[in-house]
A and B are shown apart, each in its own frame.
Chain A
Amino acid sequence: MRITSQMMTQKLVGNLQSNLTRMERWQQDLSTTKKLHKPSDDPVGTSYALRYRSELSQNEQFKKNVDSANSWVEYTDKMLDQATKVLHRARELAVSAANDTQDATARKAIADEVDQLYKQMVTIGNSQFNGAFIFNGMLTDQKPYAEGTAETKDTDPGKIRYEIGPGTKIEINSLGSEVFGSSTAGNNAFQALADFRAALIADDQPVIENSITRLETRINDILEVRSGVGARMNRLELAENRLSDIDLNLQTLQSKVEDTNIPEAITQFKIAEDVYRASLNTGAHIIQPSLLDFLR
């Protein structure tokens, strides 16, 4: 093949250009630490990268939801603990009031304390978490219980659910009717306290004795609700761990698709640089000499 100077120059320029392009690509990968800059760099990878990003953001949201659910449930547990304490105190009072040695005056004195306990119970029933009434089902903006009518009140049966995983929802609220008993339940906490107080005032020993059992069964019922709450707390903890695992997983996957493999990129960049230098060097040698250099 006949070689002409124009041909050599054009080929050299073309090759230098493609060497430079290669160098520029690795340089971009290194300076941005990303190997995905636009969809055409790796269409399938881009599709995965978008998926990982969406899933990460969703996961992040689920983590926040778990946190919120946890706070709510923990707060519920605290309130249930207080309710149990109130009932325990009432039961103690009932046991001591049921004693034959107590006279009507003593019982009246106890009645005052029971009245306080009743009021305390209503306050617990109206506990608010971040402004929301936690025991009133979905009617979180409505105060469920009022003194004097609490025993006849049934709370809203709505269950509030938070999403803590794709398609996984957890109920976060405990219903007042389950915690304190429905209006028809024999051991409705408010009713039991009110009856106990009335019996104390009336000095009615059989009713006082009966109150002991009613209070005890209510304590057991609350305990049951609490164990449910505890189970939810466990579930939330598990969910939290799982979400953290998923998060790590997704970040690893995303990094694999999107991030530059630095050692590889540096090696490739060095190779590209060497090739570029070599082509410049040989180019300088090839283009220079001609017959003219050797004519006198």
Chain B
Amino acid sequence: MFKDADLINVYSDYDYTIYVPNVNKLEGDYVLKPKIDGEPYYIPVLWRDIVNANRISNRIKAREIRFEGDIEAEAYKQLRIDLVREKDTYTREQIETMILNPSDEVLEKIVTIRDVKTIETILSQLIALKNTNQFFIAEKLEMYIRARKEELSKGLRISELEITPTENIDLAVVEDIEEEVEVEEIEVAPVVTKPVVKQVAKAKAPIKKTTPAKKK
């Protein structure tokens, strides 16, 4: 249980400075500096100011401002933030995973977001990752994010975007790989079961051509 006068270590999870107001204006406000080489820059903030910030802003809920590791769960509990129920917010880590591993589920998540701020964060994180020139970023994902942002800025909360599923895997190839794996397993299997299973495998794949190299 934190008291009003307790100092809590918080930090900005993103690469920009976040200004947090102080309840007492004469004391000046808190400046949460960006991370340095991925290391959080902790600033002690009075608990009463955290409560105030959470009252007037979305940044704690959106986990742009984060708490030092071991006290985070307790702080969320006391601020009445139920992360299971908060479906529209993602941490920076989650956003980056989403961007770097795009799939149809990720697109569905993006289309169901109802908060412009979240979409803007995702988009700017995407651009930032793209600018590093270290990753392949899916263009389809970027198009969906931009389209959703446009929808939200027009005030369309329930999306009209349709997701066309991506057929990025050639199914025939997958079957081939599975069969090859099966055959190889059989060769390692014990002698007694060997003939029976081999027949089954052959029945499954009558036209399969295994390369001579594999058979050896």
Decide if A and B are genuine partners.
no
**Which A positions have Cβ atoms within 8 angstroms of B?**
none
